[in-house]
Amino acid sequence: MPVLIPSPTQIEAAGNKPKLIREFIGRVNSHESHISIAHMQSPGGWVEPGQTPEFDEYTLVLKGSLQVESNDGTLFVAAGQAVLARKGEWVRYSTPDASGAEYIAICLPAFSMETVHRD
């Protein structure tokens, strides 16, 4: 039988400004270790530390834009676009535009503090 996820769990975010993370599926809210799906809302000017995670991260931008830095350069991901950061690749996310961003992040396997490897 399908399992209803009635509500997300709010997760504390890293970075220089408060960012809202609502995990629907993952290690905290649904006790899933193979995937995590979270709804993110970050304010303008938000920057998080760089990371070299042990998971692939798929990000779909719903509103605003997301800046994604890597060792190979910088991408600007607009609403209606998506980006894939592969495991083992250094990456840093930010929302430099005043409007910030709203996006969905999917991690395979699920996000964890032990496997994100922040700077």
- State the CATH number of the domain containing residue 53: 2.60.120.10
**Cα angle for residues 117, 27, 56 (degrees, 5° grid):** 50
Name, in order, each residue with C-beta under 8 angstroms of 1's C-beta and a sequence gap of 6 or more. none
pLDDT recorded at residue 85: 98
Q: How many domains does the chain have?
A: 1
Q: Which residues of the chain have pLDDT under 50?
A: none
Per-residue pLDDT, 83: 98
Q: What is the pLDDT of residue 10?
A: 98
Q: Is residue 57 part of a domain?
A: yes
Residue 113 is predicted with a pLDDT of 95
Residue 10 lies in a domain: no
Nearest Cα to 107, choosing from 24, 34, 21?
Answer: 34
Per-residue pLDDT, 76: 97
Domain extent, residue 54, equals: 36-116
Q: Does some domain include residue 91? A: yes
State residue 109's pLDDT score. Answer: 98
Whole-number pLDDT of residue 25: 98
Q: What is the model's pLDDT at position 19? A: 96
**What's the pLDDT score for residue 32?**
96
**Any idea what DSSP says for residue 62?**
E
Does 30 reside within a domain? Answer: no
What's the pLDDT at 36?
Answer: 98
Element (H, E) at 10: strand 9-11
